[in-house]
Amino acid sequence: MAAAPEPGEPGKGKPFKLLGILDVENIPCARDSVLYGSLGSVVAGLGHFLLTSRVRRSCDVGVGGFILVTLGCWFHCRYNYAKQRIQERIAREGIKNKILYESTHLDPERKQTNSDSSN
Amino acid sequence: MAHPAQLGFQDAASPIMEELMYFHDHTLMIVFLISSLVLYIISLMLTTELTHTSTMDAQEVETVWTILPAVILILIALPSLRILYMMDEITTPTLTLKTMGHQWYWSYEYTDYENLCFDSYMTPPLELDPGELRLLEVDNRVVLPTEMSIRMLISSEDVLHSWTVPSLGVKTDAIPGRLNQATLMTSRPGIYYGQCSEICGANHSFMPIVLELVPLKHFEEWLLSTLE
């Protein structure tokens, strides 16, 4: 649907994909999750190594930490993103209804004022 | 429309397609993590000197690699079922459009109010105007109103076809002797392209679908002008 770039116009570069599949630039929450996961991996792996001096096991802990932290951040971020989308939709509908029904008997503010005055 | 060498989805133009994209992102993240784990384990296998030739059992690891995939499948299945049922929600459509697949064009019928029928053939490349899209443009577009629930009834007059519009998340088989139903609801106006998605003969690649979604007022004007 977007027009192809005209000759001479700089086109958008190909998006960067981790392992060739995960588009971290365009998928919401992907970049943050992977970055936090990497941080968690380094902290967990390094911490385990400092405590035990076992290299191989520390690498395993690092990978496990990466997976757990990435997954945790991902679900947390996506949950908040979904909540935000719902709130945006409610706000959008509210603005649309307000504009559409202002000063008619269907005006949501008028209904609310009537119920307040009757109470 | 799709860009050359595009691998990902087209921009979503309907709520269902948005939900499909979110589900795809969710599943892709799980796949990415599993792939990372497998890559790591493969690299370990290549560099280990640990060998044990008389292993009899491994209860702990067998428990882990049974429970963990089950948990992963549940994590994928729950959003999948949610969106599956969302796609089959019963709505009250405001408009019904019938489409019949032929070799090799689509025909459309708006029969709710007046009887409007037309065929939609691909525009041959030699007859395209500058700026038009090769193998995607048609002579008669399907004009529909935005932000309204539209029922699509899809069938075929000859062989199997499939009516597809990727931006709207619609792909429904056109089967001779059977009537399939799909529901469309677009969030924004625009022109949306699709192509036949079931092999149907020599010109299977040359029977595209073009939807022109316009506000209701413009749709009514188009309807009146076409009927005249």
**Residue ranges of E strands in chain B:** 95-102, 105-110, 116-120, 142-145, 150-156, 161-165, 170-174, 180-184, 190-195, 208-214
Interface subset of B 32-61, CB within 8 angstroms of A: 32-33, 35-37, 39-40
Instruction: Write the CA distances from A68 to A21, A107, B12, B115, integer angstroms.
Output: 20, 49, 30, 59
Residue numbers in B near A25 (CB within 8 A) = none
Structure tokens at A41: 């991996």
**How far is B160 from B177, CA to CA, in rounded Å?**
10
Looking at CA atoms only, how far is residue A106 from chain B in angstroms?
21
**Element housing A17 (H / E):** strand A17-18
Provide CATH code, domain B95-227: 2.60.40.420
Interface subset of A 98-117, CB within 8 angstroms of B: none
Looking at CA atoms only, how far is residue B105 from chain A in angstroms?
22
CA dihedral A30, A33, A36, A37 (to 10 degrees): -110
Q: Tell me if chain B has a CB within 8 Å of the CB of A4.
A: yes
Burial of B170 (0-12, 13-18, 19+ CB in 10 A): buried
Are B13 and B187 spatial neighbours (Cβ–Cβ below 8 Å)? Answer: yes
pLDDT at A5: 41
Determine whether the interchain pair A70/B37 forms a contact, defined as Cβ–Cβ distance below 8 Å: no
Residue numbers in A near B1 (CB within 8 A) = 1
pLDDT at A113: 61
Domain ranges of chain B: 15-49+57-88, 95-227
Grouping H, G, I as helix, E, B as strand and the rest as coil, residue B227 is helix
Determine whether the interchain pair B29/A33 forms a contact, defined as Cβ–Cβ distance below 8 Å: yes
Determine whether the interchain pair A74/B28 forms a contact, defined as Cβ–Cβ distance below 8 Å: no
Burial of B200 (0-12, 13-18, 19+ CB in 10 A): buried
Over residues B40-78, the pLDDT tens digits come to 999 988 877 777 777 788 898 899 999 999 999 999 999
Looking at CA atoms only, how far is residue B64 from chain A in angstroms?
14
Determine whether the interchain pair B35/A4 forms a contact, defined as Cβ–Cβ distance below 8 Å: no
**How far is B87 from B170, CA to CA, in rounded Å?**
10
pLDDT at A7: 38
**How far is B71 from B77, CA to CA, in rounded Å?**
10
Of the candidates B159, B167, B171, B157, the one whose C-alpha atom is nearest the C-alpha of residue B119 is B157
Are A32 and A70 spatial neighbours (Cβ–Cβ below 8 Å)? Answer: no
Looking at CA atoms only, how far is residue B228 from chain A in angstroms?
31
**Element housing A47 (H / E):** helix A30-52
Residue numbers in B near A22 (CB within 8 A) = 28-29, 32
**How far is B162 from A113, CA to CA, in rounded Å?**
53
pLDDT digit of tens for each residue in chain B (228 aa)? 788 888 889 999 999 999 999 999 999 999 999 999 999 999 988 877 777 777 788 898 899 999 999 999 999 999 999 999 999 888 889 999 999 999 999 999 998 878 899 999 999 999 999 989 999 999 999 999 998 999 999 999 999 999 999 999 999 999 999 999 999 999 899 999 999 999 999 999 999 999 999 999 999 999 888 887
Residue numbers in B near A82 (CB within 8 A) = 22
pLDDT digit of tens for each residue in chain A (119 aa)? 344 444 334 445 677 787 777 887 888 889 999 999 999 999 999 999 999 999 989 999 999 999 999 999 999 999 999 999 999 989 988 888 888 888 787 776 766 666 656 55
Looking at CA atoms only, how far is residue A95 from chain B in angstroms?
16
pLDDT at A119: 56
Determine whether the interchain pair B36/A21 forms a contact, defined as Cβ–Cβ distance below 8 Å: no
